[in-house]
Chains A and B, each alone.
Chain A
Amino acid sequence: MTPTAVQAVIAGLERAGVTLASYLPDSLLKPLYPALDAHPGIRTVPCTNEGEGAAICGGVFLSGKRAVLCMENSGLRAAAEPLARMGLGSGIPVVMIMSYRGELGENNWWAVPHGITMEPMLAALRIPYRVVREEAGIEQAVVDAYEWSYSAYQHSAVVLGGSTVR
């Protein structure tokens, strides 16, 4: 992930009014996490699994603040249970930014399941998403995710793939 891609994510979060980020760090978004840690207007809360991070973000929504969950796309599987309960059961939205592990071009065998399962998982959970593969689209995708989730009271996701993370 290039420094300019990191800055595009940060710019989108700033425009969306995000003040808390929970994350479980991964390799593709690795430079993003210290950038979030260093941001003076964003409190970071590392979590022990992505389901916990999703629930933390749900709690932040209930406070009137805005949060983001950052993770590898494999975290979607770990977070599926709380996401289903909060989104489909209670109308508590979580906005996620995740890396697209396992898309075409992936050269790690262990990441293949992440690519195969991510989009069906998002569809099963009724979570709209945008796959962004060019830096120019990152900032607006983040802003749009918040606009939608705070109208629908359902989760949304920005998936960073292609040249944005490789």
Chain B
Amino acid sequence: MSGSMSTPTSSPTSNSGPVVRPPASAMTRYSAMEALAALLTDELVVLSLGGAVDEWYTAAPHLREASLFQQQLGCVTPQALGLALGLPHRRVVSLDTDGGLLFNLGVLATLGNEQPGNLLVVVWDNERYQSIGGPRTHTSSGTVDLAAIARGAGVVHASTVRDVEAFAAACAAGLADQAAPHVVVAKVDTSPEGHAAAGHPVVRRKHSDGREDTYRFVRHVEATEGVTIMGPSEHN
């Protein structure tokens, strides 16, 4: 395993009042995305909702066709698992979130039982529901350790990382391992202030809906796998 174990960096806060909390770590999600994108070539990516969609669209332009942009909690890693089981020779990356994984922790038990060796799960853990303005998730308390839950579910290669070097090393290890799934919980700063302070570019908005995203992704899989998924009708 790479990286350090989770150490609480923030105190439990009330659900009431303004949402002002320190970032989950000094590592911006965008910098981690850049590091991961540099490791990927012909992988397939499934990713979750919220700010991660536009950031990945901007940080990994060479993977836009190979990325399925989803808008749903709890489905990203199960979809990536199905994709990985359907294409066992192809590396699949799930870009999940703390809120998304917490929505269906059971999938970790399924990963533990199925042991898909071609699946890397990255969890962007910013300790908040960023897409609706930042209310805290359960990981913000510092008592909930997603990597430990994953290990307890049988995903033995699960770690929490807080800097880009450790993140890149953990992802590289997961991509290189053909025998077992890896889970990398990346504590990240997703604040606009952190993004700007790091000198990251302005994030471009992705201009497409779920159906267009599905068609684009499927056409990429068809082209790279030599298969027909959404084919012609019997008659025109």
Contact = CB atoms under 8 A, between A and B. Distances in A.
Interface of A: 20, 22, 43, 45-49, 51-53, 55-65, 67, 81-82, 85-86, 89-92, 151, 153
B60 interface: no
Contact of A62 (B110, B114, B221): B221
Nearest to B228: A64
Contact of A60 (B86, B106, B109, B213): B86
Contacts, number: 123
A95 to B, nearest CB: 13
Contacts of A45: 81, 85, 110, 114
Interface of B: 46, 68, 70-72, 74-75, 78-87, 104, 106-107, 109-110, 113-114, 209-211, 213-215, 217-218, 221-222, 225, 227-230, 233
A20 B75 contact: no
B79 A63 contact: no
B212 to A, nearest CB: 9
A90 B210 contact: yes
17 contacts: A20-B82, A48-B106, A49-B104, A51-B74, A55-B74, A56-B79, A56-B82, A56-B85, A59-B79, A60-B86, A62-B218, A63-B221, A64-B222, A81-B72, A82-B72, A82-B74, A86-B75
A82 B74 CA distance: 8
Contacts of A86: 72, 75
A91 B109 CA distance: 28
Nearest to B230: A153
Given A52-B104, A52-B110, A64-B228, A81 B74 contact: yes
A51 B86 contact: no
A88 to B, nearest CB: 9
Contacts of B233: 151
A67 B85 CA distance: 11
Given A48-B106, A91-B210, A91-B214, A82 B83 contact: no
B110 A64 contact: no
Contacts of A61: 82, 229
A47 to B, nearest CB: 6
Nearest to A22: B82
Contacts of B110: 45-48, 52, 56
Given A85-B71, A85-B75, A92 B82 contact: no
Nearest to B233: A151
A64 B106 contact: no
Nearest to A90: B210
A56 B113 CA distance: 14
Given A81-B72, A82-B74, A59 B107 contact: no
A59 B81 contact: yes
A64 to B, nearest CB: 4
Contacts of A52: 74, 78, 104, 106-107, 110
